[in-house]
Amino acid sequence: MENLLTYSPVQHQLISHLLTLGVSAMAVGFVYFITTNKQSSPRFQPSSTLSAVVMVSAFLILGLQLLEWLSAFAFDGTVWGLGVGTAGRFTESTFSNGYRYLNWSIDVPCLLAQMLFVIDVTPGRFRKLRFRFITAGLLMIYTGYIGQYFEITNTGWFLFWGAVSTVFYVYILYMMGNLIFKSRENLPRQAYKTMGTIWWLILISWTLYPLAYLVPWAWKAFPAWGAWAAVTRQFLYTMADIFSKVVYGVLLSSVAQTRSAAEGYEPAIQVQIDGGAASR
Ligand code: RET
């Protein structure tokens, strides 16, 4: 869709800025997860590590999206467009949101698996849930990935693959809801509450992705929306990215830290012991 539109300077810049915000948020998140990892006891630490992995992969993909956005369109003095204006002028590439789906195939399994490190599950259940989360997550993404190729050319297939993807999405939400609400009973009060917040955060922020998927469809129904459709879509993606990756990771870290403290883990003491051992 993006390649068919022309953008006013403001619309073009808003999208650059949104992508930059996303890139910066991932960089900030990375520093946070690396520096606070040791504040939770070792059994919770894989959660922060996975957040750091998500930050690196999202940082790279969003950085590429930004560079691609900047090189795909040319300015003719009035609008930005693909090879716009003067005859014979070509831009260096086109713009595609498809890269995001490939990034999700790394991030979604990580985000889902992360939860399993912070909540108590038996080893058997851990393996079973991990398998189901990863399989359903990948199927959700790849069916959506196929669908997005039809966003302009064939609304029927576009909606069909979107619907198939939604079946997997609903299954993931069901498993996640079950996991959170059944396993949080024994958590300390503060962590119990945070798990509730995490549920709403997932429900809302993840649902922004299918809404972004539907933007081209809505744009075809209301062409007067014009390039604001593309701005809206990047806005939805950026909000979804910041909340589903960074804020989610921070909340899980907070649960991990509360639980660690409740179990008597003290990061400062660990540092002293390590320091002592290292100096001998
Ligand atoms: C698609 C296709 C249309 C239907 C649905 C989708 C769901 C996407 C989701 C993506 C979540 C991504 C996350 C990424 C974080 O890094 C594939 C857009 C339901 C839920 C959490």
Sign of the C-alpha dihedral, residues 257, 262, 268, 273?
A: negative
Cα 190 to middle of ligand 1, angstroms: 29
Instruction: Using the CB atoms, write b or e for 42-56: b if 16+ within 10 Å.
Output: eebbbbbebbbbbbe
Q: Which of 169, 174, 246 to mutate to test the pocket of ligand 1 (most atoms within 8 A of CB)?
A: 169
Residue 253: per-residue pLDDT: 95
Residue of 100, 106, 115, 165 with the most ligand 1 atoms within 8 Å of its CB, for mutation: 165
Condensed to tens digits (0 to 9), the pLDDT of residues 184-215 reads: 888 889 999 999 999 999 999 999 999 999 99
Q: Identify the DSSP state of 224.
A: G
Orientation angle between helical segments 98-118 and 123-148, nearest 10 degrees: 170
Query: How many residues in total does the chain contain?
Result: 280
Q: What is the pLDDT of residues 3-31, one digit of tens each?
A: 989 999 999 999 999 999 999 999 999 99
Confidence tier at 280 by pLDDT (50, 70, 90): very low
Q: Residue 46 corresponds to which amino acid?
A: P
DSSP code, position 245: I
| Residue labelled with tokens 């409740």 | 262
Residue 113 banded pLDDT, cuts 50, 70, 90:
very high
Query: Closest Cα to atom 16, ligand 1: which residue?
Result: 107
pLDDT in tens, 30-39: 999 999 999 9
Q: Is the pLDDT of residue 101 over 80?
A: yes
**Distances in whole angstroms, Cα of residue 133 to Cα of each of 103, 104, 173, 189, 248:** 16, 13, 10, 27, 17
Tokens standing for residue 219: 């744009």
Cβ < 6 A, ligand 1 pocket: 104, 107-108, 111, 140-141, 144, 147, 162, 165-166, 169, 206, 209-210, 213, 244-245
Whether 159 contacts 217, CB under 8 Å: yes
**ipTM reported for the complex surpasses 0.90:** yes
Tell me the whole-structure pTM to 2 decimals.
0.90
Q: Express each pLDDT in 41-54 by its tens digit.
A: 999 999 999 999 99
Tell me the pLDDT tens digit for each residue of 127-163. 999 999 999 999 999 999 999 999 999 999 999 999 9
Whether the predicted pLDDT of 267 surpasses 90: no
Residue recorded with tokens 């079946």:
167
Give me the percent of the chain exceeding a pLDDT of 90.
76
